[in-house]
Structure 1
Amino acid sequence: MESIRVVKALLHVRGLFAVLFPLLLAGGCGGGGGDGNGAQGSAPAKVEAAPTPQAGSSVAVVVTRNDQTLRLAPQPDIAFSAPDANLDNANPIDEDTIVVDEGRRYQSVAGFGAAFTDSSTWLLNQVATPEARDEAMNNLFTRNGNGIGLSAMRTTIGSSDMSRFHFTYDDMPPGETDPTLANFSIAVDEPDRIPIIQWAKRLNPQMLLLASAWSAPAWMKTNDSLYGGDLRPSAWGAWSNYYMKYLQAYEAQGIGIDLISHQNEPDYASIDYPGMRTNPESQRLLLRDYILPSLEASGLDTRVLIFDHNWDNTVFPARVLTDSRVGDSDKVAGTGWHWYGGSPGAMTVLHNLFPDKENHVTEAASGTWIADPVTNDFEMMIQSMRNWAKSFIKWALVLDENRGPHLGGCDKCIPVVTINSQTGALSYEIDYYMLGHLSKYVLPGATRIYSTNPTGMVSVAFQNPDGSKALVAFNDTGADKNFKVVWGRQVLQYTLPPYSGGTFTWSSAQSETYPIPATTKVQSSSYDGVFALQTETTSDVDGGYNVGFSINDSYARYNNIDFGAGVGNVEARVSNNGNGRNGSTIEFHLDSPGGDLIATVDVPDTGGFQNWTTVTSPVVMPVTRIHNVYVVFKSNGSAGNVKWFKFS
């Protein structure tokens, strides 16, 4: 925590910001922080509630294949082995093992969901047949029968790119203004959006609701238009009051807004749907001097998410949060992120700098541009949750068969469910099943727990408030994958088809766990904590994630590594785009970044960050028993990437 305070203070000093921000971009300064630390049909494929397993034995499984022949499909129950009472027996962990350890705990989970856009709620309320509407609402917002229990939802403050027409709640004729907001009204939401949200919240009272604005009214903006432009500084007070009126109006309808984001996608403003650019300095001052004081005085429980844009810009939210009157405010929940650029590892950057603030994936639209949505969603949802995401929210909840109606914006976006505009019939897109792998089995208030990524697979695990466990695992290879799950002293075995994922659920308490043998292949993304590093998807053989975005002295920590009676060599799978530079190395230290140095491997220039080679180096000192291993990157620039390492 002291290092975080020092960096925050230095960021305010003129001239040092540019020096320190490469560190911010690469991974922050909270090294011990943890793991970051469609096809349609007339009815959904049968999605049965996972049966409650016998304590510590039976495990329920649902599977989705990337060819969509299985979609959230229940499989025969499997079982853990009987507990091994003797940890001195042969350690079952190898490179094809997912180790689940509920003793290592990370962020709590709010939920998973999509967005109540104007189009979505109109289709549900006005176009769907009564039978289709009832079925959709129950399947989307409960866990009964086929229901997937969406519990983190977004709505728009005014219109968006998924609206039938463009509006705000205080539009005025050209040339006229309304600084007192005398004409403010949410009447446009009363026929459809409000009743649908009220219904959803009755079905799922635990639902978290986020509201995001696309644009201020045109009369508040520099270009007098809903499209593009900036907010006039003279309108900052009116814009803050606009938020308060919106929150109070929805509260009067029995809809509490849990989170607001000040501006959707502040780095982008379209010419054919509402949008507004905002820079970090303006957002910082607007929050600090207007919105936060108004929220604090309002008595509302609403909190703010800053930024609400892509993973490829960590500078924006960090600049806003380094203002102590913003970053230290209890009314600032954290940062909102979109998945259209960068890596989910960016959320670990912000977590390490601001560990008391949350990270939420607030928009992740699926569309026809994604060739394999099953692989894409498993990889991205798992990686997001491994990088401190508290919620994961898709984009449009409902669209019609033409991926509308909308005015401007995305004409290739795919919703969670489709309502046919001619017949009112309901059909289910692949996003419904993908969200269900998490939303149906990972309950609000769950805690992410430690899990490893075996060769060719990625995983994420959770413990629910009732103590039950949910493991989501994806086979990232083109062949059947046989693997084990080791949980405490119990082991189960399973086979997932190519590019397929499963959710495994069970209950009872964990016993003492095995250490990880140093002689097994350890995937770099299975770390316990990092400093100045991010994960990203890799094109290397066997898929999965690599660790990268390194700078000098970046490190990753791997706990509970058992060297047994000793080792002689270390292998590592590495890459680097060194542009001809030499001298990058990776060091292996025991128990701290500056602890005993046991081995060093050279990282050659491989000609690209996804061009991989395996390097070997001797272990230079005797090492036995169990240690925490620190993998430390050394370079005068990028020290490259690492996919895995193992000792022999």
Structure 2
Amino acid sequence: MKTKILHIALITSLMMSCQSQKSWKTDIYETSASGNQLTKIDAVKPVENSIKIKLNPAQRFQKITGFGGAFTESSAYLLNKLSKENREKVLKLYFGEDGADYSLTRTTIASCDFSLKHYTYAPVADDKELKHFSVQEDMDDLVPMIKEAQKISKNGFKILASPWTSPPWMKDNNAWINGKLLPQYNETFALYFSKYLTEYKKLGIPIWGITVINEPHGNGGNWESMLFTPKEMTDFVENFLGPKLEKDGYGNVKIFGYDQNRSELKNWVDEMYRSEKSSKYFAGTAIHWYDSTYKIFEDKLQYAHQKNPSKHLIQTEACIDGDIPKWKDDSWYWSAEATDWGFDWAKEEEKYLHPKYVPVFRYAGDIIGCLNNQVDGWIDWNMVLDKNGGPNWFKNWCGAPILVDPEKDEVYVTPLYYTMAHFSKFIRPEAVRIGFENPDSDLKITAAKNPDGSVAVVVFNPSEQAKNIEISLENQKIPVRISAKALQTVHLTF
């Protein structure tokens, strides 16, 4: 009997030993100024004096919601002008398993600057019961784009929807731009959201979350906007929007506050989470990156997280916004030649926050910086724009990861697409960011453990020199060489 027990114990010990010494399979993908485009590269041999990166899966941070871009009328309109082959190509690049596999997206509730014209779902003035509510304006372009993406995406994706303004007749200036919501229309505007959710649900498009308004501080009076102070928005959510959605069966739809630049986060989260009641209705905070071309505002992000650690913190908009995008010129995206519109509107004493920048560097650095400071989702702006950075009724030209020339039926996949894919493809929803040690200040790194047990390590090297790295996980050491001016994802599976 003793011999049998010893035999079982020996087998158990050997099994546990094998499990503890499991070997991680390593796949390395690189995008670089030298020409790699999410290219799978060969493993390398260990090198002395390599940079030692130690992963710590036991140190767990936020759970990841996802990565992606925005469905806008401009993007959808352009896709409709392409050949069926190229339209499908673009959508597969974004939503296919072999592509970026986007998991978190945004769309607009009625028009914005990246629409073909002003429009609202409730055009009849003083229609308090919204009897004339209709999403028909979305049926030609926007809805078909979302539906096609749904068919392509095997893993599915979440949609966060944002209005840029209420119908003008609900505002104190009766205009598309600026103005505030009139108190007598608080209930009607809450109903507007509920009706939108219902109509999109009928179309087979479930909306995961909403923001109350895009950019409540306004945009300089240039395109669709509506102004809220932190208190006004919180009062509206606590007393009208939250209870209305709950009553109408949409209590599971997440409400996000703020939805503008990070520098003002403190004022907003202090108000949003002022009480148990207000906190109940806010699922989290939405933020943008336009305050600076290089600053992450780590202190603001950490403050927002600590104010209520159970809430989401999601980057909902970012883009290259000061230039007409460069067509079929990869080198520009790796050069410090991009400018931003923020330089024009910034106060004189804040213009230093807006120097010229390298587009790929800004994207890679910002996503890593956000992830390392409790942000759980990161959404790019338009998925598709034309050679001029439009269409945009205000001529507010911007870049996009994929550009198209509908007249010639051409598609240009910019380096920004591959930059986004380094995160979206390998860090999946419900992944948990994990700890690491990085002794090299030049390298920017983040790491996450996916629900399937795989680990994704994203390494960004903005320097002019290639670097040798040794990544250690458990008892295994993985040698890696990253090119100069490059982004890598090291995907570890077993």
Relative to the length of structure 1, the TM-score reads 0.65
| Equivalent-residue separation in structure 1 for 2:121 and 2:406 (angstroms) | 27
Which residue is 2:133 aligned to? 184
Does the Cα contact within 8 Å between 2:361 and 2:462 map onto a contact in 1? Answer: yes
AA partner of residue 237 (structure 2): L
Which segment drifts farther, 101-110 or 316-325? 316-325
| Equivalent-residue separation in structure 2 for 1:382 and 1:139 (angstroms) | 22
Which residue is 1:168 aligned to? 120
| Equivalent-residue separation in structure 1 for 2:132 and 2:52 (angstroms) | 62
| Residue correspondence of structure 1 range 237-636 to structure 2 within 5 A | 237-300=187-250, 301-314=252-265, 315-327=267-279, 329=280, 331-341=281-291, 343-345=296-298, 346-367=300-321, 368=323, 369=339, 371-408=357-394, 410-411=396-397, 413-455=398-440, 456-508=442-494
Q: Secondary structure at the match of 1:249?
A: helix
Q: Secondary structure at the match of 2:43?
A: strand
Does the Cα contact within 8 Å between 1:118 and 1:193 map onto a contact in 2? Answer: yes
Q: Secondary structure at the match of 2:148?
A: helix
- Note closer, same or farther for the CA distance 1:406–1:159 as it changes in structure 2 (3 Å cut): same
AA partner of residue 306 (structure 2): N
Shift of 1:235: 1.2
- Note closer, same or farther for the CA distance 1:344–1:61 as it changes in structure 2 (3 Å cut): farther
Q: Secondary structure at the match of 1:206?
A: coil
| Residue correspondence of structure 1 range 96-111 to structure 2 within 5 A | 96-111=51-66
Does the Cα contact within 8 Å between 1:151 and 1:444 map onto a contact in 2? Answer: yes
Shift of 1:55: 5.4
AA partner of residue 110 (structure 1): T
Which residue is 1:128 aligned to? 82
2:160 pairs with 210, 229, 233, which one?
Answer: 210
| Equivalent-residue separation in structure 2 for 1:135 and 1:211 (angstroms) | 25
Which residue is 1:40 aligned to? none
AA partner of residue 126 (structure 2): T
Shift of 1:79: 7.8
AA partner of residue 105 (structure 1): R
| Residue correspondence of structure 1 range 20-59 to structure 2 within 5 A | 56-59=23-26
Does the Cα contact within 8 Å between 1:152 and 1:208 map onto a contact in 2? Answer: yes
| Equivalent-residue separation in structure 1 for 2:462 and 2:278 (angstroms) | 41
Shift of 1:409: 5.5
Which residue is 1:621 aligned to? none
Does the Cα contact within 8 Å between 1:57 and 1:80 map onto a contact in 2? Answer: no
Shift of 1:95: 9.1
| Equivalent-residue separation in structure 2 for 1:57 and 1:151 (angstroms) | 26
Which residue is 1:626 aligned to? none
Which residue is 1:72 aligned to? 38
AA partner of residue 452 (structure 2): D
CA deviation digits over 1:566-586, x for unaligned, max 9? xxxxxxxxxxxxxxxxxxxxx
Does the Cα contact within 8 Å between 2:162 and 2:210 map onto a contact in 1? Answer: yes
Which residue is 2:107 aligned to? 155
| Equivalent-residue separation in structure 2 for 1:396 and 1:290 (angstroms) | 31
Which segment drifts farther, 157-166 or 421-430? 421-430
CA deviation digits over 1:609-628, x for unaligned, max 9? xxxxxxxxxxxxxxxxxxxx
Does the Cα contact within 8 Å between 1:230 and 1:278 map onto a contact in 2? Answer: yes
| Equivalent-residue separation in structure 2 for 1:68 and 1:325 (angstroms) | 53
AA partner of residue 443 (structure 1): R
| Equivalent-residue separation in structure 1 for 2:24 and 2:121 (angstroms) | 55
- Note closer, same or farther for the CA distance 1:387–1:181 as it changes in structure 2 (3 Å cut): same
| The structure with more strand, counted as a fraction of residues | 1
AA partner of residue 118 (structure 1): E
| The structure with more helix, counted as a fraction of residues | 2
Shift of 1:480: 2.1
Which residue is 2:6 aligned to? none
| Residue correspondence of structure 1 range 76-91 to structure 2 within 5 A | 76-78=42-44
| Equivalent-residue separation in structure 1 for 2:34 and 2:277 (angstroms) | 49
1:61 pairs with 2, 25, 28, which one?
Answer: 28
Shift of 1:437: 0.4
Q: Secondary structure at the match of 1:165?
A: coil
Relative to the length of structure 2, the TM-score reads 0.84
| Equivalent-residue separation in structure 1 for 2:114 and 2:45 (angstroms) | 45
Shift of 1:80: 8.7
Which segment drifts farther, 261-270 or 209-218? 261-270
- Note closer, same or farther for the CA distance 1:276–1:265 as it changes in structure 2 (3 Å cut): same
- Note closer, same or farther for the CA distance 1:80–1:303 as it changes in structure 2 (3 Å cut): farther
- Note closer, same or farther for the CA distance 1:99–1:275 as it changes in structure 2 (3 Å cut): same
| Equivalent-residue separation in structure 2 for 1:80 and 1:320 (angstroms) | 51
Shift of 1:201: 2.0
Identical amino acids, percent of aligned pairs: 28
AA partner of residue 71 (structure 1): Q
1:220 pairs with 136, 146, 170, which one?
Answer: 170
| Equivalent-residue separation in structure 1 for 2:22 and 2:227 (angstroms) | 54
Structure number with larger C-alpha Rg:
1
Which residue is 1:637 aligned to? none
AA partner of residue 59 (structure 2): R
Which segment drifts farther, 392-401 or 485-494? 485-494
Shift of 1:68: 5.5
Does the Cα contact within 8 Å between 1:132 and 1:424 map onto a contact in 2? Answer: yes
Aligned length, in residue pairs: 434
CA deviation digits over 1:380-408, x for unaligned, max 9? 11011111111110101111111111111
Task: Note the residue ranges of structure 1 that are not aligned, 5 or more in a row.
Answer: 1-53, 82-91, 509-648
| Equivalent-residue separation in structure 2 for 1:340 and 1:268 (angstroms) | 13
| Equivalent-residue separation in structure 1 for 2:121 and 2:204 (angstroms) | 19
Spell out structure 1 runs of 4+ moving beyond 3 A.
Answer: 77-81
Does the Cα contact within 8 Å between 2:190 and 2:241 map onto a contact in 1? Answer: yes
Does the Cα contact within 8 Å between 2:269 and 2:307 map onto a contact in 1? Answer: no
Does the Cα contact within 8 Å between 2:94 and 2:102 map onto a contact in 1? Answer: yes
Q: Secondary structure at the match of 1:184?
A: coil
| Equivalent-residue separation in structure 2 for 1:302 and 1:323 (angstroms) | 20
| Equivalent-residue separation in structure 1 for 2:232 and 2:34 (angstroms) | 46
AA partner of residue 296 (structure 2): S
| Equivalent-residue separation in structure 2 for 1:379 and 1:418 (angstroms) | 22
